[in-house]
């Protein structure tokens, strides 16, 4: 509340050495003034509460939309970083083919690049990441659902998965045993089903435990530790590049090159999905920003009007008090003059009249 009653105003008069009548008048006028200004403020609070609630709703909506936009911007940089890794992987394949005696080194380097890709894809938390942190069951990044207006359903945004992961679902005699890839680590975990309970077996991608791999379309069979035959269906996510053992540890060079080409094609699809989301979310942000601006303007106008009304009441009270104070001061001055006249009469020939 604008306080026009400080300094030389009414509140200072309550503590000065003015006469009792002046103080009492000031107190009464100040009390009446506060009743009026408090009523104005109460009315203002009642009017602005719905506006403030609306502003909170819109602010939350805007924050969610801007988080999607930030995730898109992050995703564009993540795509660029993964492009460099794919280039390195293509180089590794070429060098491995030219240097068969160093195959174990290139196997390790290849799997490390997969780990780097998934570290890049999962670089940000879910709030600001739209291309990573894939669900272990669906191998898709989480959806972003935002309420963009009061009377429509939520808008859902989902880009393609930038990382590379997989699940192998056991079939036939292997049914009930699945292998779930750990995207940011170089191993796969045996589970009863993707996202389900873990079993005792975990297999490092760099190890030689997986042998005699045979792939035909989405089906796979291999021997585990040279003794246990396993058959299953491969579910690939994201870029679709598999660990080196899937390519018989750098003997299927054509398969590896094709996987990298497929990954580069998928990377272009990821970029396209990000552009589409940006095209969709940008006008929603602009609209909500306009709505927020309108609410802020309404709140500002209400505050301005309230302060104006309060100031007018305070100034009017000040003027009234000053008029009363001047009147009392004039009365006091007149009384002093009367006293002076009477005192002079006491000293003259008529002094006995007053004894």
Nearest to 69, CA basis, from 295, 234, 280, 322: 280
Q: Do residues 178 and 169 touch, judged by C-beta distance below 8 A? A: yes
Residue 75: CB atoms within 10 A of its CB come to: 28
φ, ψ (nearest 5 deg) of residue 205: -65, -25
CA-to-CA separations, 254 to 94, 188, 208, 251, in angstroms, rounded:
10, 24, 21, 9
Q: Do residues 79 and 162 touch, judged by C-beta distance below 8 A? A: yes
pLDDT recorded at residue 41: 79
Query: H/E element holding 14?
Result: none
Nearest to 140, CA basis, from 163, 156, 117: 163
β strands within 171-314, DSSP E: 178-182, 187-191, 198-204, 210-216, 219-224, 228-238
Residue 189: beta bridge partners? 180, 202
Nearest to 238, CA basis, from 205, 276, 265, 219: 265
Query: H/E element holding 268?
Result: helix 253-346
Q: How far apart are CA 251 and CA 297, in angstroms?
A: 68
The pair of structure tokens assigned to 285 is 């942000």
Q: How far apart are CA 69 and CA 63, in angstroms?
A: 10
Tens of each residue's pLDDT in the chain, 355 residues? 334 444 444 444 333 444 666 777 777 878 887 888 888 878 787 888 888 898 899 999 999 999 999 999 999 999 999 999 999 999 999 999 999 899 889 999 999 999 999 999 999 999 999 999 999 999 999 999 998 888 888 899 999 999 999 999 999 999 999 999 998 888 999 999 999 999 989 999 988 899 999 999 999 999 998 888 999 999 999 999 999 999 988 888 999 999 999 999 999 999 999 999 999 999 999 999 999 999 888 888 888 888 888 888 888 778 777 776 666 666 655 555 555 555 554 555 544 544 4
Q: Topology of 54-292 in CATH?
A: f41 fragment of flagellin, N-terminal domain (1.20.1330)
pTM recorded for the entire structure: 0.76
End-to-end CA distance of the chain: 59
Q: Where are the domains of the chain?
A: 54-292
pLDDT recorded at residue 35: 84
pLDDT recorded at residue 325: 66
pLDDT recorded at residue 16: 41
């Amino acid at each position: 509340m604008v306080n026009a009653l400080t300094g030389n105003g009414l509140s200072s008069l309550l503590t000065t050495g003015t006469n009792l009548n002046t103080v009492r008048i000031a107190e009464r006028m100040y009390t009446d003034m506060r009743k009026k200004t408090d009523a104005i403020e109460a009315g203002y609070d009642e009017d602005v509460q719905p506006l403030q609630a609306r502003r909170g709703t819109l602010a939350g909506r805007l924050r969610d939309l801007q988080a999607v936009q930030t995730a898109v911007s992050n995703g564009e940089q993540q795509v660029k970083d993964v492009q460099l890794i794919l280039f390195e992987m293509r180089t590794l394949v070429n060098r491995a083919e030219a240097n068969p005696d160093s195959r174990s080194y290139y196997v390790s380097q290849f799997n490390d690049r997969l780990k780097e890709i998934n570290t890049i894809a999962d670089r940000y938390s879910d709030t600001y990441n739209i291309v990573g942190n894939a669900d272990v069951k669906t191998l898709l990044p989480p959806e972003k659902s935002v309420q963009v207006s009061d009377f429509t359903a939520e808008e859902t945004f989902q880009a393609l998965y930038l990382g590379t992961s997989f699940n192998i679902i056991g079939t036939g005699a292997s049914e009930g045993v699945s292998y779930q890839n750990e995207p940011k680590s170089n191993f796969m975990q045996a589970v009863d089903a993707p996202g389900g309970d873990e079993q005792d077996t975990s297999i490092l991608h760099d190890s030689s435990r997986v042998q005699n791999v045979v792939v035909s379309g989405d089906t796979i069979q291999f021997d585990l530790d040279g003794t246990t035959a396993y058959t299953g269906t491969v579910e690939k996510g994201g870029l679709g590049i598999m660990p080196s053992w899937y390519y018989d540890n750098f003997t299927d060079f054509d398969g590896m090159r094709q996987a990298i080409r497929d990954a580069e094609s998928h990377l272009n699809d990821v970029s396209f999905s990000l552009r589409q989301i940006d095209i969709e979310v940008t006008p929603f942000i602009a609209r909500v920003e306009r709505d927020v601006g309108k609410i802020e303007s309404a709140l500002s106008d209400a505050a301005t009007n309230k302060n104006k009304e309060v100031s007018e009441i305070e100034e009017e009270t000040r003027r009234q008090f000053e008029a009363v104070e001047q009147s009392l001061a004039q009365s006091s001055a007149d009384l002093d003059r009367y006293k002076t006249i009477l005192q002079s009469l006491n000293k003259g020939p008529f002094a006995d009249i007053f004894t």
